[in-house]
Structure 1
């Protein structure tokens, strides 16, 4: 497990860099465009290729290719795995290329449907520009999944960094210096997306080629390729439900008012920071391990890795969620309130951040629970549960958005992810009793105790700082940075004193690091 913790640390560190760059990117776009209709149109347009990316790339494809590649690697070695990769990427190129062409043609004709607000035509125009990103990022997902199977996690973790860097350079550099209008700057931002997608695809492909893979167009079907297709079918439907769920929520937000889609997006991005850095990093490293154990029918080891991974997720994400709830307003004000992003926008966004944060631990747990079903090649169960979650979200969204507007949409999505978490874990235990959550309750109570101590210190410290510092950036900076550090230290001390389970794995890893030094 100490080796897994090292890999988790690598992925987490690189993901943290990516998320920080993503935050800089969001701050830049918020300062330039604010919560204007231009920004909301871009967010809505970028959702479309991202929806298909999750469907064909990082969602069902990754879930299907990892266990199948593990079997091919076990039986035929790397040559067999490389041959299967060529077949998968060849079909991906054909399918995504066709989708991109059809989508660009369809959205370019949006003005043939008259009678809509101009913002919808603007979103359609931006979709035409952004849709080729789909092909790049789907191929990147196949390359990154293969690298993960080979226990190489650094290059896949670098993938989102390329996107963030190119978008920052394109908007903050070329856009600000060479564009005279908001639309011109938006076109530069779209160019950054496309450039980032290319690098996301090209870098892992180059790493695989250096390791011995020789790409070739191979559309001949094989038993393993058919198996990936068979496994993708229910997973595709399940991922589609989830992504349509997200997409419908953002469309509803876009229909509420010009700013709702933007503030929802930025609040969700802040919540994704700890999820991406820790929960997704853990799931990325643990998934190939539990898939390997599932192939070998070693369910005891599979349960051990699952529960250790789940413990790490809870240790990080429960206090992170509490911190976002308690410090929502100073965080938003410190990170976003400048340029075109006003104090009124902060007042709208801060409560949404707190509501999103309530669902963060549940979303983090689902990321690993779902992969446990995929490791056993059970793609149908997550589909059924995703369908239930979709109905909960859609029903509550339509019910609550009329009275609570954007807050109603967030409450609906939070309730849906709680329902999804409970049902998934219950059905996972029914399918494989070894993967029970019961052994984690002892750790869960210690995590809650540490979070309560941390929360008390944060609340008390915030009131104390308000008495000695005047309102402004100095106060916000002191509250956010100072109290996060103090709170994290107090939380860690409580867990250490209570002897949180899994502590010995960290001690072993630290011992090895000292030995190397």
Structure 2
């Protein structure tokens, strides 16, 4: 196996392990606190720093690579490390300023994220936010340190930071229940700090030496900011949608914010494992063909990537629609998380999971534009999608309640997808839309068959095996396995072209 293949496989394995540990963290939180005021407060407080910097972190990671590589190649390792040092210090200064403003206008900041919070709930959230805002410094540093290590061929250390993070939060949840609720937010702050501390020994081994020098006039920093801004706006659509949904969800009573959070976690779990893994394998081909100015190969790589995404994500959408209730029940329904909480979370998940296809395809198209050195178009398209989401959220939530928020996000996601497809076609011409449509139709037919068989299988096994925890694991697991086999057979019989590509990738990894 090549070095690139080994690295990709390592990153995939570490990502999967970290996501499973994160899912266990959510299970512990649900069982310990259920879906009431305390979880709404904690989820909202944690959402503020993570949403503020998840989009920024992604933009930094995307934009930092070419700037750092250019400096290292033209001026050497020492100059590239000075640039990283300066960038870290600038981020610290900026985040300290944001923290200062956040502590002055904490209540107003909370209202942006949870407009429906009032009284004790609002007061407690404000106190939590004042504590967790200090995490902004370390989240900003973490984004830079992670990218720096990956640029120096260290993918293992960044892939492991989720372990101490999740372990510390899990411990904080358990300890806080027996002592004081504030232990949970303080432990979460320590967990976020641990991500940076965990990577510092690896940074030191690269020969990096830190100093306090700050230079805002550095031309490389200015150039990085120019690259970051459009990528930030174009790539922050999902984070903004999450913010909008969470803000409006806070107006629908206790537990709704937490329910949206759990549905988002499951959505993110699927997205990280499947979509990110697929893109990590096929995206380099797209970038290489664009760099070589091979238009035909570039279009083929886009078509194949979109088809592979369709082939994987459509059955996941259908499977989740069929089994959303059992999945949420198995993962969360214990302790203080009751049956009504399961129903609410499952309903939101059923709607949200449909949008994963649109967001996944848009991620591919965005990367196509980035490969063409065009960051402006994804930025404009993303802004238009956000406007649609805001309008639809306000309208649909008025008539359909909290479910209207999830439906609005899903509709806006597909409107955004259509805009992305149209603009990409205008930019590069046709990229074999008939083949993409054929793959979509075949995948939908196969997934529909799979969904029917899976539903029948689950209901029959549930009648035979009962409702205990072990029984739930067995009949849900067997139902999913049967569904996978049925879907695989269906797409093979219908001769989906990309099936062979996936088989070839698996064979190469096995070898």
**Bin of the TM-score, shorter chain as denominator length:** 0.7 to 0.9
**Residue range with higher mean Cα deviation, 159-168 or 236-245:** 236-245
**Residue range with higher mean Cα deviation, 297-306 or 246-255:** 297-306
Residue 148 of structure 1 contacts residue 288 of structure 1 at CA under 8 Å; is this kept in 2? no
Partner of 2:171: 169
Q: 1:427 offset after TM fit, Å?
A: 1.4
2:331 maps to 1:329: no
Partner of 1:260: 256
Partner of 1:38: 38
Q: Could you tell me how far apart the structure 2 residues matched to 1:78 and 1:453 are?
A: 56
Q: 1:64 offset after TM fit, Å?
A: 2.0
Partner of 1:196: 191
**Residue range with higher mean Cα deviation, 478-487 or 312-321:** 312-321
Deviation per CA, 1:301-334, whole angstroms, max 9, x where unpaired? 6555544444443333221121111001111111
2:483 maps to 1:487: yes
C-alpha distance 28-149 of structure 1, shift in aligned 2 (>3 A):
same
Q: 1:414 offset after TM fit, Å?
A: 0.8
2:404 maps to 1:415: no
Q: Could you tell me how far apart the structure 1 residues matched to 2:462 and 2:52 are?
A: 47
Match of residue 380, structure 2, among 375, 381, 384: 384
Residue segments in structure 2 that go unaligned for 5+ positions in a row: 111-116
C-alpha distance 302-197 of structure 1, shift in aligned 2 (>3 A):
farther
SS at match of 1:327: helix
Q: Could you tell me how far apart the structure 2 residues matched to 1:65 and 1:331 are?
A: 39
Q: 1:158 offset after TM fit, Å?
A: 2.8
Deviation per CA, 1:87-115, whole angstroms, max 9, x where unpaired? 3222212212221233134328999xxx9
Partner of 1:393: 389
Partner of 2:128: 126
Partner of 1:84: 83
C-alpha distance 251-20 of structure 1, shift in aligned 2 (>3 A):
same
Partner of 2:67: 68
Q: Could you tell me how far apart the structure 1 residues matched to 2:331 and 2:413 are?
A: 27
Partner of 1:464: 460
SS at match of 1:35: coil
SS at match of 1:339: coil
C-alpha distance 217-432 of structure 1, shift in aligned 2 (>3 A):
farther
Deviation per CA, 1:474-506, whole angstroms, max 9, x where unpaired? 553333211112212332333445554455555
Partner of 1:359: 355
Partner of 2:398: 402
Q: 1:289 offset after TM fit, Å?
A: 6.5
Partner of 1:13: 13
Q: Could you tell me how far apart the structure 2 residues matched to 1:43 and 1:143 are?
A: 26
2:140 maps to 1:138: yes
In the superposition, the TM-score normalised over structure 1's length comes to 0.87
Residue 106 of structure 2 contacts residue 130 of structure 2 at CA under 8 Å; is this kept in 1? yes
Q: Could you tell me how far apart the structure 2 residues matched to 1:190 and 1:103 are?
A: 17
In the superposition, the TM-score normalised over structure 2's length comes to 0.87
Q: 1:238 offset after TM fit, Å?
A: 4.2
Residue segments in structure 1 that go unaligned for 5+ positions in a row: none
SS at match of 2:173: helix
**Residue range with higher mean Cα deviation, 249-258 or 452-461:** 452-461
Q: Could you tell me how far apart the structure 1 residues matched to 2:237 and 2:483 are?
A: 38
**Residue range with higher mean Cα deviation, 102-111 or 276-285:** 102-111
**Residue range with higher mean Cα deviation, 463-472 or 72-81:** 72-81
Partner of 1:432: 428
Partner of 1:231: 227
Q: Could you tell me how far apart the structure 2 residues matched to 1:34 and 1:241 are?
A: 29
Paired residues, number: 504
2:447 maps to 1:451: yes
Q: Could you tell me how far apart the structure 2 residues matched to 1:497 and 1:76 are?
A: 56
Partner of 2:48: 48
**Residue range with higher mean Cα deviation, 452-461 or 249-258:** 452-461
Q: 1:188 offset after TM fit, Å?
A: 2.1
Q: Could you tell me how far apart the structure 1 residues matched to 2:354 and 2:36 are?
A: 27
SS at match of 2:61: helix
C-alpha distance 67-131 of structure 1, shift in aligned 2 (>3 A):
same
C-alpha distance 155-52 of structure 1, shift in aligned 2 (>3 A):
same
C-alpha distance 307-147 of structure 1, shift in aligned 2 (>3 A):
farther
Residue 231 of structure 1 contacts residue 377 of structure 1 at CA under 8 Å; is this kept in 2? no
C-alpha distance 110-442 of structure 1, shift in aligned 2 (>3 A):
closer
Q: Could you tell me how far apart the structure 2 residues matched to 1:25 and 1:159 are?
A: 15
Residue 54 of structure 1 contacts residue 243 of structure 1 at CA under 8 Å; is this kept in 2? yes
Q: 1:514 offset after TM fit, Å?
A: 5.4
Q: Could you tell me how far apart the structure 2 residues matched to 1:434 and 1:208 are?
A: 45
Residue 8 of structure 1 contacts residue 282 of structure 1 at CA under 8 Å; is this kept in 2? no
C-alpha distance 279-407 of structure 1, shift in aligned 2 (>3 A):
same
